[in-house]
Structure 1
Amino acid sequence: MWSYLLKIKQNILTRNERGLIYWLIISGFAIVIALEYLTPPEYVFGYLYTGTILLASSRLSRTAVLGVTLAATGLTLLNLFIPGVETVHPPTVANRLIAVIALVVTGYLSERNHRNKEAIAYAQTQLRSQQQLAQMREDFVSTLTHDLKTPLLGAIQTLKSFEEGQFGSVTPMQERIIQTMTRSHRTTLQLVETLLDVYRIDTEGLKLQRSPVNLVTVAEEAIATLTEIARSRQICVCLNYGESDFRRSLWVNGDYLQLGRVFSNLLINGINHTPRGGKVEVVLETSAIDQIVKISDNGCGITQEELPYLFERFYQGHGDRLFVGSGLGLYLSRQIIEAHGGIIWAESRASKGAIFGFRLPVCPPPGDK
């Protein structure tokens, strides 16, 4: 019997064991009916129906529990009129009604308890799933760090040694091949680093090292870093200051390295969407409360359907971009800008191309009070 009760609790009854539950319920009804109808109505045995209700609610469906509860209450009240040998007094009716209320409350509470158990079981399952997911993410990071990042760094260093002639002279053709292999390995390493950054931001949040930063300096450095890539694709990258033609400073309170990543990500995005011979333009503007950066290209533009998803992770759009990326650059850029208390957006240009921009709160220059 205890094993059956344990299986009821664990919700793993077989068909034969379910039949045993029905048999126990019917037997319980039969015993209580015999006690009810073989004794005067003043003796209320209807309270014993609570055992069958609890047994039904432990494993059977809600409909079955409702049926058992209705049957119990009906049989309890029916004993007032059957067999009808004695006169029924008001106290007897009151006792029967109290028994009916007790049965209804038992059925309600047992059903509510059953729902609570289901909710707890579901929550426990969700918790286990989250714990498994967290473990998988930890394993994922360990794999990226050790099994991918470490060999890539070793391969890049080995290729550098070949290029420097440490293993013998290198012909011009071999040097070009080694340079191509090195660029490929560095691109893969950059993707691994980006995935690691996404994981760190999602789990730990973005930690900023804030200080006064001049966005002009950040933009010029990012453009200089990407000049060779832009030149190889015959794309002009230029910097201007909106309505003004002279160089000025745009100070914000931010993380220099992280803001540099934003510029690099948006510039690479513009270069990837710009056809050969095109232009990517960085426009720096200022207002009373914000420093504004806009990076425009003359590629295929952005459709209205794409706009809501541009800054989601792994989204790459459906345009005719010439070079496929990881789909994480814009996602990371949004995380960085929002961590700085700024706003990032995208829009399609009226003529052709797209504009990606962000704005950050103004910060006084260093030394100003």
Structure 2
Amino acid sequence: MTILSRLVAMKEAINERGETYGLIAIAFAIVISLEYLTPPEYVFGYLYTGTILLADSRLNRKAVLGITLAATGLTLLNLFVPGGEIIYPPTLANRLIAVLALMVTGWLSDRNHRNEEAIAYTQAQLRSQEQLAIMREDFVSTLTHDLKTPLLGAIETLKYFQNEQFGEITPMQAKVLQTMARSHRSTLQLVQTLLDVYRNDAEGLKLQISPVNLATVAEEIIATLAELARTRQVYISLHYGESDFRSFLWVNGDSLQLGRVFTNLLSNGINHTPRGGKVEVVLEGYSSDQVVKILDTGSGFTEEELPHLFERFYQGHSDRHVSGSGLGLYLTRQIIAAHGGTIWAENRSPRGAMFGFRLPACPPPGS
């Protein structure tokens, strides 16, 4: 705001306040004339409520208090000025009732003024928080987008080296390049997860719904993570409930997003299982819903951690030896909730953890 615009705003405020005081003075003059030119038994003090309400809408709290006190004082003063008349009890009672009404009007006006100030302050805070949230979302979106480009470039460059397009490499160099590529892919996945979390919070998760067989999704993700499991020396097994025969678990969902759920939960289980341990995927089909359980042989959780596992950025304080961003389980919960399902976690006895989710079942395609 320029100096000129500020001066104009100040002039308008002064003019408006001057007009208000002028109206109040005129109202006071009219009521005083009616009060003091008629016998005391005629009470016109109630008309001061108009000036109090006018002051409340245009002036500050001190002005409202002053006008209320002036109105009550003038109403009582009319008992003695101009004087010379006998004051009867009903007249005194009428005056006191008028004074009480003016005081209540002033108190209610002051309370209303404070409530309006509190509402205005709260609204200003909400607007400020909304602006900060928008700035944060824009910052995260821009940052993650800008980070993806160099990461993708670095991954492609590493592929060229691994394919020996820049010359032969030794076994030791190949191992180092493989480690670097895996690290870059993990970082890229973290950046994408961060971007998805903030986008889902801001816009909601958009799903491409179609019939999905959870058994097929589980098999595909297990095959994708086989190398990670082999590297960490963790064995992955897939079971189909008590019968252990391959079955179909149909749900209406987004196959890509449900694949991310399996990826997050399986990766979590692999990373938190000691070498030589195992991760089990158990698929259980029921008439009304389909249940998936991921069981690991890690260290489990403390009772204090369990209620917070699916919160954003929560990493916990247990001795599960791999720390993450705290976003994978939060994103998983977002996806399951968007599908109308539920997700939970439990400790296993004597050791390990179980993550499970439940989705509404649907009939097989074509049935």
Q: Is the Cα–Cα contact under 8 Å of residues 236 and 279 in structure 2 kept in the other structure?
A: yes
Equivalence map 1:242-281=2 (5 Å): 242-281=241-280
**Percent of paired sites with the same residue:** 60
Structure 2: distance between partners of 1:322 and 1:206: 31
Question: In structure 2, what is the Cα distance between the partners aligned to 1:53 and 1:259?
Answer: 61
Structure 1 equivalent of residue 25 of structure 2: none
User: Residue type of the partner of 2:123?
Assistant: A
Matching of residues 73-92 of structure 1 within 5 Å: 73=72, 76-77=75-76, 79-81=78-80, 85-88=84-87
Counterpart Cα distance in 1 of 2:79 and 2:255: 86
* Aligned counterparts, 1:149-160, within 5 A: 149-160=148-159
Q: Which residue of 1 aligns with 2:327?
A: 328
Aligned length: 346
Q: In structure 2, what residue type is equivalent to 1:259?
A: L
Gaps of 5+ in 1: 10-28
Q: How does 1:333-348 map to 2 (within 5 A)?
A: 333-348=332-347
Cα root mean square deviation, aligned: 3.7
Cα separation, partners in 2 of 1:232 and 1:263, compared to 1, 3 Å: same
Q: Which residue of structure 2 lines up, in the alignment, with residue 316 of structure 1?
A: 315
Task: Check whether the contact 1:49–1:103 (CA below 8 A) recurs between aligned residues.
Answer: no
1:225 and 1:109, CA in 2 relative to 1: closer, same or farther beyond 3 A? same
Alpha-carbon distance in 1 for matches of 2:37, 2:365 = 98
What pairs up with 1:1-369 in 2 under 5 angstroms? Answer: 3=10, 6=13, 41=40, 58-60=59-61, 69=68, 72-73=71-72, 76-77=75-76, 79-81=78-80, 85-88=84-87, 94=94, 97-98=97-98, 101-102=101-102, 104-145=104-145, 147-368=146-367
Instruction: Quote the residue 1:17 is aligned against.
Output: none
Determine if contact 1:72/1:103 at 8 Å carries over to the other structure: no
TM score, norm. by length of structure 1:
0.80
Q: In structure 2, the residue corresponding to 1:295 is in which secondary structure?
A: strand
Partner of 1:23: none
Range 285-294 or range 90-99, more displaced? 90-99
Q: What's the offset of the Cα at 1:344?
A: 1.0
Equivalents in 1 of 2:87, 2:11: separation in Å? Answer: 42
Cα distance in structure 2, aligned partners of 1:139 and 1:349: 41
Aligned partner of residue 283 in structure 1, secondary structure: strand
Check conservation: 2:148, 2:191, Cα contact below 8 A: yes
Q: Which runs of 5+ in 2 are unaligned?
A: 1-8, 17-27
**CA apart distance, 1:117:** 3.8
Structure 1 56/215 Cα, relative in aligned 2: closer, same or farther at 3 Å? closer
Work out the CA distance in 2 between the residues paired with 1:65 and 1:55: 6
SS, match of residue 260 in structure 1 = helix
Deviation at 1:167, TM superposition (A): 2.3
Preserved CA contact (<8 Å) 2:52 2:105? no
In the TM superposition, residue 114 of structure 1 has moved relative to its aligned partner by 4.2
Q: Distance in 1 between matches of 2:114 and 2:74?
A: 25
